[in-house]
Amino acid sequence: MSSKRTPSMSAKPASNTLLLSMPGNEITAEALGALLGFASMPITVHTFPDGESLVTLPEGIADYNVVLVCTLDQPNAKLAPLLFAADAARQLGAKRVGLIAPYLAYMRQDMRFHSGEAISSRTFAATLSRYLDFLLTVDPHLHRVHMLGEIYAIPSRVITAAPAIVGWLHCHVTNPLLIGPDVESEQWTAAVAEGLSAPYVVLEKIRRGDSDVSVSLPDTRDLLDRTPVLLDDILSTGRTMIAAVTRIRESGLPAPICVCVHAVMAGDAYQALLAAGAAEVVSCNTISHASNAIDITPLLAQGLLPFCQ
Ligand code: R5P
């Protein structure tokens, strides 16, 4: 059993909303709390030798609206402690229990691609919906599912990182050409290109396996004076972006700047992408990573307000 003391509030917070961070989400919760004037406190998770989790919430949360903060990369390890925390918050008297998940996992397995496969996005959504009252997230991978409400049974809000990405590119890149590595990325690429009044192209992608990806680039000979900016929602193995960087370099364009919303960065993705010739790799801070350069906390704060009335 953990010997750590349970954190508690030294003074009653002015607001009726409390932000409770799951481990690893303290910085996001504190930044949101500072922007909104909400208290933020950590939830502790002790892992027993057998792998089970002991989740401990701060004292004094009764009658507050509790907002759990937990980004959901590496979701399997995070799900059980998150559900324990949500259930405990309700038992301890929280009025409502919501979740800010800057990255929402399992959105890509939105159909049965091969016989026998689980449709994970639906089961994951049903599980979270069972324990939570609302959900706030950033650019979930909406493709065949068009709105979170199709699979989540609770009120949800989606924040798009596009304005923050536009702001960063506006300050750091002159004469950009936005490039989406596959048809699914067009929604983000088009929005950012419009915000910058810049042209965009979208590549065609074929994925044969987790790390086996090829893309084809349309004719960009009229755009050789532009700085290519590759933009995708999720950078996981990096193989999509690596294939795109290779095509872009072959076409005579300069080395691209690679931008993603969610730096999932599985395995050697970051190093491999830099080694493949990316000029720079930049991400939003929905998942903590060395590439984080674009702060989406103000957008999250705005998105949370309607849930805190
Ligand atoms: C899928 O369509 C997503 O938008 C990304 O393109 C994909 O998740 C990237 O994965 P990876 O980095 O493993 O190639």
Assess contact for 178 and 229: CB atoms under 8 A: yes
The minimum-distance atom of ligand 1 relative to the CA of 213 is 14
Share of the chain above pLDDT 70, in %: 95
The minimum-distance atom of ligand 1 relative to the CA of 237 is 13
| Backbone dihedral region for residue 82 (phi beyond 0: left; psi -120 to 50: alpha; all else: beta) | alpha
Coil, helix or strand at residue 296:
coil
Closest by alpha carbon to 294, among 177, 164, 105? Answer: 164
What per-residue confidence (pLDDT) applies to 218? 85
For 245-275, the DSSP string reads HHHHHHTTPPPPEEEEEEE---TTHHHHHHH
The count of other CB atoms within 10 Å of the CB of residue 71 is 24
**What is the distance between the alpha carbons of residues 119 and 252, in angstroms, rounded to a whole number?**
41
Asked whether the whole model's pTM tops 0.85, one would answer yes
Distance 163 CA to ligand 1 centre (A): 21
The minimum-distance atom of ligand 1 relative to the CA of 243 is 14
Is 2's pLDDT higher than 50? no
Share of the chain above pLDDT 90, in %: 87
What per-residue confidence (pLDDT) applies to 1? 39
Determine whether the shortest distance from the Cβ of 237 to ligand 1 is under 6 A: yes
Angle at CA of residue 141, ends 71 and 104, nearest 5°: 15
Window from 4-18, 75-89, 113-127 with minimum mean pLDDT: 4-18
